[in-house]
């Protein structure tokens, strides 16, 4: 296939999927990446305080080490602070088809990881028109800020390595998107179309995918 963004995007307006609203976190969740997951889970707990309807959301964590799903799920429930939260933990999958299936069901992808490198899943979400929030410290966050500064406020969120600052900011952004999913999908579509026209974005995607396929990119 060609670069992400040309063949991954789904034509036409997408609307929020039916059924239980799904928030998704993805990436290999070994120790180095756990801090990003912990921020996301705490932020969902914060969003819950802002919007009681959060009790109905499902959180999909895709990226557990094989066999570590149960332990990771318990940890996430503790961080959210609501043992009744709907949390599903699945093993990591590098398969693009699996990632896209998850992103089609999701109303929001969170990418708060502090060591994500570029952020391929975030790129995939944007190319599909799925609402996403990505760390300003990721390569993806930096690229969006550089090539489409007008879209950065919708997509890029600061990470200051301080829960007292980060959790309320991410929690507020999550609640804002999940309480107005129609608006979030309209903004995601605008971001998709603007970024699809920016040459720098397409070139970065092509270069990244070349590195991924060549096995030349590990972690960072």
Task: Judge whether 6 lies within some domain.
Answer: no
Task: Judge whether 134 lies within some domain.
Answer: yes
Give me the half-sphere count of Cα atoms (radius 13 Å) on the Cβ side of residue 57.
Answer: 26
Given a cut of 70, is residue 121 above it in pLDDT? yes
Q: Are strands 58-64 and 22-26 parallel, antiparallel or unpaired?
A: parallel
Name the residue range of residue 57's domain: 22-214
CATH of the domain at 130: 3.40.50.2000
Question: Which residue's structure tokens are 């107005």?
Answer: 180
Given a cut of 70, is residue 183 above it in pLDDT? yes
pLDDT tier, 205 (very low <50, low <70, confident <90, very high otherwise): confident
Task: Judge whether 142 lies within some domain.
Answer: yes
Task: Judge whether 132 lies within some domain.
Answer: yes
pLDDT tier, 187 (very low <50, low <70, confident <90, very high otherwise): very high
Task: Judge whether 64 lies within some domain.
Answer: yes
Contact by Cβ (8 Å): 136, 9? no
Q: What is the pLDDT of residue 64?
A: 84
Task: Judge whether 73 lies within some domain.
Answer: yes
Task: Judge whether 12 lies within some domain.
Answer: no
How many domains are there within the chain? 1
| Residue-by-residue DSSP string for 154-217 | HHEE---S-HHHHHHHHHHHHHHHHH-HHHHHHHHHHHHHHHHT-HHHHHHHHHHHHHHHHT--
Task: Judge whether 199 lies within some domain.
Answer: yes
Given a cut of 80, is residue 159 above it in pLDDT? yes
End-to-end CA distance of the chain: 24
Note the pTM of the prediction, 2 decimals.
0.86
């Amino acid at each position: 296939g060609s670069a992400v963004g040309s063949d991954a995007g789904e034509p036409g307006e997408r609307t929020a999927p039916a059924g239980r609203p799904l928030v998704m976190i993805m990436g290999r969740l070994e120790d180095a990446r756990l801090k990003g997951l912990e921020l996301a889970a705490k932020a969902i707990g914060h969003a819950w305080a802002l919007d009681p309807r959060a009790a109905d959301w499902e959180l999909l964590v895709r990226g557990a080490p094989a066999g570590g799903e149960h332990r990771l799920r318990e940890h996430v429930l503790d961080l959210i602070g609501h043992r009744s939260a709907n949390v599903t933990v699945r093993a990591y999958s590098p398969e693009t088809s699996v990632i896209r299936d998850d992103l089609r069901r999701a109303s929001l992808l969170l990418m708060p990881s502090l060591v994500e490198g570029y952020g391929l899943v975030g790129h995939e979400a944007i190319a599909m028109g799925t609402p996403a929030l990505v760390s300003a410290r990721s390569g993806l966050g930096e690229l969006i800020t550089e090539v489409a500064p007008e879209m950065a406020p919708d997509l890029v969120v600061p990470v200051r390595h301080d829960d007292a600052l980060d959790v309320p900011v991410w929690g507020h952004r999550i609640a804002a998107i999940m309480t107005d999913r129609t608006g979030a999908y309209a903004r995601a579509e605008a971001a998709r179309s603007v970024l699809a026209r920016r040459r720098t974005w397409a070139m970065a995607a092509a270069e990244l995918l070349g590195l991924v396929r060549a096995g030349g990119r590990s972690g960072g």
